[in-house]
Amino acid sequence: MRFIGDILQTIFGFSLPEQASEKAYLVDDLYNFVLLLSIVGFIGLMAAMTFFIIKYHRSQNEKAAYIPHNALAETIWTVIPTIIFVGIAIWGLFAYFKMEHVPSNAYKINVTGKQWLWEFTYKKDGLELNTTDIMYVPVNTPIVLDMTATDVIHSFYVPSFRIKKDTVPGMRTRVNFTATKKGDYRIFCTEFCGTSHSRMRGTVRVVSKARFEKWLNREIAEANVSDPVELGSRLFARNCMTCHNVDTTTKIGPGLAGVFGKNRSFSNAADVVANEEYIRESILAPPAKIVKGFPNKMNSFAGLLSEKDIDHLIEYIKTLK
């Protein structure tokens, strides 16, 4: 049987995406079978019609026959399509149940559809990792996606895996697959969800089990860093480093080493001791106190950094010696 499936796949495979999951062949076999049947049926019917049109054209045929019905022909063309059509339905639903069967050891990833991105949540040892756009999965491992949506209905579709399921707000849906080839595969949203529906695409990145473990351990540790100094240093690198050095040398603004706890004098205000209150003000309202000898150049970070971010930055700045 597999042999027949493979022959059909060779003929019609061009019209389907690459098979990259264990159960993709279940869709393709029936697709190819129905396609073969359709082509045969269509050509047969059209050939008969064309033959009749030519042979019994008005210029060729003087008198029409009188054939109001024919019980045998009508029985045949009622019974045979019924058997074929119901046969296709039964094949399709058995294949569907096979596809829906989730192995008990399947690895679970939570998927959330939002206007207009996909969010993937991995859980390990009580820690969580949220990523968007790219979903990493290990090859040859059964995966089950536990899905929902936050705003409107979306639909999670990976053509190469032959899987699709709506994600519905207030409801959990499930879909499962086992990727068989390493590589990147497209994710499309296939339930219309508004302005950027067609941009709601993503990628499944299938990698070796070892690489997946490595990726997950690294990312999940990264995502769960809670040391305020470490977080502060990252924020500093992203936001402050262009103008402030972490030693005592001047860049555009003053170097920040040893500043915390020291007395600061300003060109437009009375001296203060650099405490947490002062640093917070310097970030949110820089022109309030301009350090003597420096121009009024810094922009406010109000709205760009959260309260927590600022706390982390202060903790980091305290450590600069």
309 binds another protein (CB under 8 A): no
Residue 290 CB burial class (10 angstroms; 0-12, 13-18, ≥19): middle
Q: Which helix or strand (DSSP H or E) is residue 205 part of? A: strand 201-207
5 binds another protein (CB under 8 A): no
Return the residue of 163, 204, 310, 314 that touches another protein, per CB under 8 A: 163
In whole angstroms, the minimum distance from the beta carbon of 31 to another protein comes to: 5
Site for another protein in 236-275 (CB under 8 A): none
Interatomic CA distance for residues 164 and 154, integer angstroms: 10
99 binds another protein (CB under 8 A): yes
Q: Which residues, at least 6 apart from 103, have a Cβ–Cβ distance to it below 8 Å?
A: 142, 176
Return the residue of 121, 141, 144, 169 that touches another protein, per CB under 8 A: 169
234: three-class secondary structure by DSSP: helix
49 binds another protein (CB under 8 A): yes
In whole angstroms, the minimum distance from the beta carbon of 105 to another protein comes to: 22
Interface segment toward another protein; rule CB under 8 A; list 96-104, 204-212, 238-246, 281-289:
96-104
11 binds another protein (CB under 8 A): no
198: three-class secondary structure by DSSP: helix
In whole angstroms, the minimum distance from the beta carbon of 131 to another protein comes to: 21
DSSP 102: P
Q: Which helix or strand (DSSP H or E) is residue 38 part of? A: helix 24-55
131 binds another protein (CB under 8 A): no
Number of residues in contact with another protein, rule: CB under 8 A? 82
Interface segment toward another protein; rule CB under 8 A; list 102-110, 191-199, 265-273, 311-319:
191-199
Pick between residue 88 and residue 257 the one whose CB is nearest to another protein: 88
45 binds another protein (CB under 8 A): yes
Q: Regarding beta strands 142-149 and 173-178, do their DSSP bridges make them parallel or antiparallel, or are they unpaired?
A: antiparallel
Q: Which helix or strand (DSSP H or E) is residue 45 part of? A: helix 24-55
Residue with tokens 């409801």: 171
159 binds another protein (CB under 8 A): yes
Pick between residue 15 and residue 105 the one whose CB is nearest to another protein: 15
Question: Tokens standing for 113?
Answer: 């559809």
Q: How far is CA 302 from CA 84, 237, 243, in A?
A: 69, 18, 17
Interface segment toward another protein; rule CB under 8 A; list 2-10, 70-78, 125-133, 258-266:
70-78
Rounded (5°) CA angle 38-39-41: 65
Interatomic CA distance for residues 187 and 175, integer angstroms: 13
173 binds another protein (CB under 8 A): yes
Interatomic CA distance for residues 91 and 270, integer angstroms: 84
Q: Regarding beta strands 163-167 and 107-114, do their DSSP bridges make them parallel or antiparallel, or are they unpaired?
A: unpaired
Return the residue of 111, 193, 256, 314 that touches another protein, per CB under 8 A: 193
157 binds another protein (CB under 8 A): yes
Residue with tokens 């050509």: 43
Convert 231-265 to b/e letters by CB count within 10 Å (16 or more is b): bbbebbeebbeeebbbeeeeeebbebbebbeeebe
Return the residue of 4, 7, 85, 277 that touches another protein, per CB under 8 A: 85
Return the residue of 21, 165, 274, 279 that touches another protein, per CB under 8 A: 165
CA dihedral 100, 103, 107, 113 (to 10 degrees): 10
298 binds another protein (CB under 8 A): no
Return the residue of 17, 142, 183, 255 that touches another protein, per CB under 8 A: 17
67 binds another protein (CB under 8 A): yes
Interface segment toward another protein; rule CB under 8 A; list 77-85, 247-255, 284-292, 295-303:
77-85
